[in-house]
Chains A and B, each alone.
Chain A
């Protein structure tokens, strides 16, 4: 937890009409951390991700990444600077092949343009080969599920769990520094969840990613996170280690509601 400060979010607020989706939120991520963001439905977790990745503009506050403000940048510029995300409601390029899905994600890391492609220059061919190889390497992270004959299949034939894996692979392919994972294990069965939990650890230890994760599965949160941030109604109500947060009275109340008088145990 003692790495350099990567992402620093200062008093971030966003309002949709009269609704305060996020209210004066402070947040930071250090290099090499795995931070989980939890909170009940509607707490503003996905809005928080949308704001970091540039898809929603904050009403006030600042997002500073490596000393540079991300405010006003387009999503593709944020990704180019090294922050990649996945989507809660899996949004793959369903009619592109699995390999193409991870190849296209390397767009901002490559540069051959129209003329290079037309003339089939050596640098075009070299780059194309590199894109392909790196794509296969990223897919190989998930074992044999996404490689082999699968490479040329369209993403639409994948099972739900594999779609989630491909989403993560696609985000990895953009060569980010910070990975934003939006509910990576949602809809997976216990065995798959356990496996992916292990992989999230490897994303840090083997690939060197810093990870911010939204998750509802408390077992996953407990197993991988260095730090847990709890949001409710757009505000941070607690943060710290899992053990500290899970015994926090405010957090329990946010999830379960206030105990009825006289019935509390």
Chain B
């Protein structure tokens, strides 16, 4: 708690003033630094116009909107960060208490002061020339339509309280902080998925519950919010423990009978995938199709970047190849040739075209390494799009006008008669016409399943090992007998084929195709999904796609939080920076990559557990160099 190395005379002093001393025994530089960061962040976010823009989205009617939440989570988050303390082996840990509260509150106070200053300046100065959001609506938002003094008091009190609250979270028992976290997440989450729940309730005839829970103008009713909070708390208290037991059973079963567990999980997930879309409304299905397309793209890029270590920034090129191939082959209005093939036949030609494109782009760039390769692929991604748009190619691709009336992937099989017995196969005809998101969802899930299977099989094969070796050390891989050019081309082509599937389904889903859907931003978003999700890990990549495309929205699609779409690039960027600093291995990391990035810590842990081997001979104290 306090300095134990103090002289004997100071002991009584220490005992008497212990709480006060502990509270003030701060790393003040750190606290002030965090406070200023908080202040800057609050001012910056206010001036981006995001809180005002999000104000229309209500969380709890009429108390809290997404706009206020977009500012208020910050004092809490930074207050929580400043009270974080690294636990070091063999060091005396200080007892948690008043110190955390003071640190959190001071950080909040500094942040609140900065925002109050902004409120004051908004009122007295006019800086609207460089800062477009320096206007009356922002002032009204920050003061809740009151006077300047109201705003100052509001933010000083709110920010300090939230910082204090964050400090409090550090000193209360784990269970309590877990409950608080669960309650907050449930309430905000329930408000965020309101559209989804509305969509679902129509199918399940639960409109009554939904009407009670949500306000007609959007947002939770206060009573509904309280009810949800209680449910969440109960869940943590009681169900959480059951869940822990259940997962323990699952993990031990996975250890002993991996095949059986795998089979059962595939069966469960498969059944859910087949049954769920029937109950989901149009909106949810549409959202899931968008997410599915990006899962498909990200799985493909994961093979290229995550496994083989080729940083491809022009991945969108193959997405475009798939889309345009299917458009030319199936659309009756395609300008040059229009064979109007059925989707499922055309998809084979798409595979062929993607392979050619993969080889064509891959061959020149694959001999480069690292940064050079990234830049060149970036160029190729744009070249493909600009070629498609050019007058030269417009006779084939429709140029900037694009192509229209692309039919959907109809299922039209059966009806054949067996010669001899005269028995006819039942005819299965499903007309999709690319408009019904529920049917398209099945098509997307089919291709996602293919992509997962491909990733899983290849990762644990001769080819996958060669890719990993190339990623680890290209020269050594070559010296060990791996033809690195072939290995990298294989990765490139497999990735290209998966992306072309996504392109084909995208074209069939939308029914039209324009070059503007294949901008460089798509490549970046796919890469961000792979990085945020966890490079080299299938579940991680899927999680990344759900979080980014599902919640925030993809490059051209709105997500669950449609209000965010204007600011999603800002959020992507912030998320990416934060991930790189704090969790470079991604949300659900690949064990290998996580080791790679935390080599030192990992080695230290392994050493403590006695797993790192020391050279066995006497006299050699040498251990593995990090």
Question: Chain A residues in contact with chain B, CB under 8 A?
Answer: 53-55, 74-76, 79-80, 84-85, 87, 91, 93-96, 100, 103-105, 107-110, 112-114, 117-118, 120, 124, 127-128, 131, 145, 153-154, 156-163, 170-171, 174, 187-189, 191-192
Contact = CB atoms under 8 A, between A and B. Distances in A.
A79 B454 CA distance: 29
User: What 4 pairs between A and B have smallest CB-CB spacing?
Assistant: A108-B481, A117-B461, A79-B481, A191-B617
Given A112-B461, A124-B461, A157 B469 contact: no
Interface of B is mostly: helix
Contacts of A160: 615, 622, 624-625
Contacts of A53: 479
B473 interface: yes
B259 interface: no
A107 B480 CA distance: 8
Interface in B597-626: 599, 602-603, 606, 611-620, 622-625
Given A189-B615, A189-B617, A96 B461 contact: no
B469 A93 contact: yes
B461 A76 contact: no
A118 B454 CA distance: 6
Contacts of A93: 468-469, 472-473, 476-477
A159 B610 CA distance: 12
A87 B611 contact: no
B481 A174 contact: yes
Nearest to B592: A95
28 contacts: A75-B479, A76-B484, A79-B481, A95-B468, A103-B465, A107-B480, A107-B481, A112-B461, A114-B463, A114-B490, A114-B494, A120-B457, A128-B462, A145-B613, A156-B599, A156-B602, A156-B603, A157-B613, A157-B624, A159-B614, A160-B622, A161-B622, A162-B613, A162-B615, A163-B624, A170-B480, A174-B481, A191-B618
B478 A75 contact: yes
Given A157-B624, A191-B618, A107 B482 contact: yes
A76 B614 CA distance: 33
Q: Chain B, interface size: which category?
A: 35 or more
Given A117-B461, A157-B612, 20 more contacts: A74-B478, A76-B478, A76-B482, A96-B592, A104-B465, A104-B468, A104-B480, A107-B481, A108-B481, A108-B482, A108-B483, A114-B463, A114-B494, A156-B603, A159-B613, A160-B624, A161-B620, A189-B615, A189-B622, A192-B615
Interface string B448-475: 0000011001100111111011001101
Interface string B482-520: 111000001000100000000000000000000000000
A107 B612 contact: no
B203 interface: no
A171 B595 CA distance: 25
Nearest to B464: A117
Nearest to B613: A159
B19 to A, nearest CB: 46
Contacts of A156: 595, 599, 602-603, 624
B606 A107 contact: no
A28 to B, nearest CB: 22
A55 B612 CA distance: 33
A192 B616 CA distance: 9
Contact of B624 (A105, A108, A118, A159): A159
Chain A CB within 10 Å — which of B454, B494, B592 has the most?
B592
B536 to A, nearest CB: 10
A118 B475 CA distance: 27
A95 B472 contact: yes
Interface string B153-173: 000000000000000000000
Contact of B466 (A54, A104, A158): A104
A188 B469 CA distance: 26
A79 B482 CA distance: 9
Contacts of B466: 104, 107
